[in-house]
Amino acid sequence: MTRLSWLATAGAAGAAVVVAVAIFGPLVAPYNPDAVNFNLVLAPPLSPHHLLGTDQLGRDVASRMLYGARTTLEAGIASTLLGSVVGLPIGVLAGYFRGPLDMLLMRLVDVMLAFPFLLLAVGLAAISQPTLWNAVLALGVAQVPQIARIARGAALERRDLEFVQAAVVNGERNLTIMRRQILPGVLRPVVVQTTVAIPSSIVGAAILSFLGLGVQPPTADWGAMLAQAETYLYQAPWLGIFPGVAIFLTALCFNLLGDGVTQALDPRRRR
């Protein structure tokens, strides 16, 4: 075992803890995250009954952190999965059929690339309303081009291999060939990209909530909590510390995990 895979294991463990918090957090949260208490506003951390203090409405910060883990993680992971589920078939079709279809699909992908996730989120918020799912949609769609390009590259490479040619000569149906012969070679780089993309999606989801383009108050979410904390940065800096540390550590763990997966699955980057 090398030093890096030790780090990757630590990352995986940390990521598992965060996922566990997202799943079970609401069960152990001491308070209702939306319960306001105007008698105990902006209580500092380590106050009696409020380990991480309370916010400007007297809501328990620890409880909101636990509930917020679910929202933040859901948005980050769901958007990455959306990007992969849409991008993978586009890339495989383009790489397998080549020619005009490849040209058409790749131009479409180029157009998608011209709208970074923030612009998509802004557009969606303008057309309808800023919601968590619009943020997920924007983050997901923005990831389609990258996945599609990677899948296309792998499919193109795979298409020239002899056993794929043999299947073509055998007269097997295109769909069968794509599923049986092409897909296995495409999955590996796509999985690598997906793992690498999750931390930036989590941060992206937090950014959108922070800017008011995602989760709306009073829903507990790390990014949204930071948006409110900005107003109270002088009186209650802890409101801005805890959610930020949580996002940072989550992204860090998933980044370490992503590095490890890349190292293990991507033969080009193996040393």
Partner 1 sequence: MLWSIARRALIALVTLLLATVVVFGAVHALPGGPATALSADSTNPAALAATMHRYGFDQPLPVQYGRWLGEVVRGQFGTSPITDIPVATQLAQRIPITLELALLSLLFAVLLGVPAGVLAAVRPGGLTDAAASAAALGGLSVPHFWFGMLLILVFAVHLHVLPSGGFTPLSGGVASAGANLDHMVLPVVVLGAGLAAVLMRQTRAAMAEALGADYVRTARAKGLRERRVIWVHALRNSLVVVVTVIGLQLGGLIAGIVTVEEVFDIPGVGQLTLDSVYQRDYPTLQGVILLTATAYIVVNLLTDILYTLLNPRIRVTGSAA
Q: Toward partner 1, which CB reaches closer, 79 or 200?
A: 200
Structure tokens given for 175: 């769909």
Q: Tell me the three state secondary structure of residue 255.
A: helix
Q: Toward partner 1, which CB reaches closer, 181 or 194?
A: 194
- Residue 247 touching partner 1 (CB under 8 A): yes
What is the spatial distance between Cα 120 and Cα 34, in angstroms, rounded to a whole number? 30
Q: Are the C-beta atoms of 162 and 105 separated by less than 8 Å?
A: no
In the complex, the smallest distance separating the C-beta of residue 198 from partner 1, rounded to whole angstroms, is 12
Candidates 14-22, 34-42, 61-69, 236-244 — which segment interacts with partner 1 by CB under 8 A? 236-244
Q: Tell me the three state secondary structure of residue 219.
A: coil
Residues with Cβ within 8 Å of 32's Cβ and at least 6 positions away in sequence, in order, are 63
**Measuring CA to CA, how many Å separate 139 from each of 143, 156, 216, 224?**
7, 27, 17, 17
What is the spatial distance between Cα 1 and Cα 6, in angstroms, rounded to a whole number? 7
Residues 66, 73, 88, 125: which binds partner 1 (CB under 8 A)? 125
Residues 36, 81, 118, 264: which binds partner 1 (CB under 8 A)? 118
- Residue 265 touching partner 1 (CB under 8 A): no
Residues with Cβ within 8 Å of 260's Cβ and at least 6 positions away in sequence, in order, are 4, 5, 7, 8, 9, 11, 12
Q: Toward partner 1, which CB reaches closer, 127 or 175?
A: 127
Candidates 155-163, 170-178, 179-187, 222-230 — which segment interacts with partner 1 by CB under 8 A? 222-230
What is the spatial distance between Cα 124 and Cα 127, in angstroms, rounded to a whole number? 5
Site for partner 1 in 85-104 (CB under 8 A): none
Phi and psi (nearest 5°) for 270? -80, 140
In the complex, the smallest distance separating the C-beta of residue 237 from partner 1, rounded to whole angstroms, is 6
- Residue 229 touching partner 1 (CB under 8 A): yes
- Residue 234 touching partner 1 (CB under 8 A): yes
C-beta neighbour count of 230 within 10 angstroms: 10
What is the spatial distance between Cα 83 and Cα 147, in angstroms, rounded to a whole number? 7
Candidates 16-24, 38-46, 152-160, 231-239 — which segment interacts with partner 1 by CB under 8 A? 231-239
Residues in the chain, overall count: 271
Q: Toward partner 1, which CB reaches closer, 31 or 238?
A: 238
Residues 14, 26, 185, 244: which binds partner 1 (CB under 8 A)? 244
- Residue 206 touching partner 1 (CB under 8 A): yes
Count of residues near partner 1 by CB under 8 A:
47
Binding site for partner 1 (CB under 8 A): 3, 107-108, 110-111, 113-119, 122-123, 125-127, 130, 142, 199-200, 203-204, 206-207, 210-213, 223, 226, 229-230, 233-234, 237, 240, 243-244, 247-249, 251-252, 255-256, 269
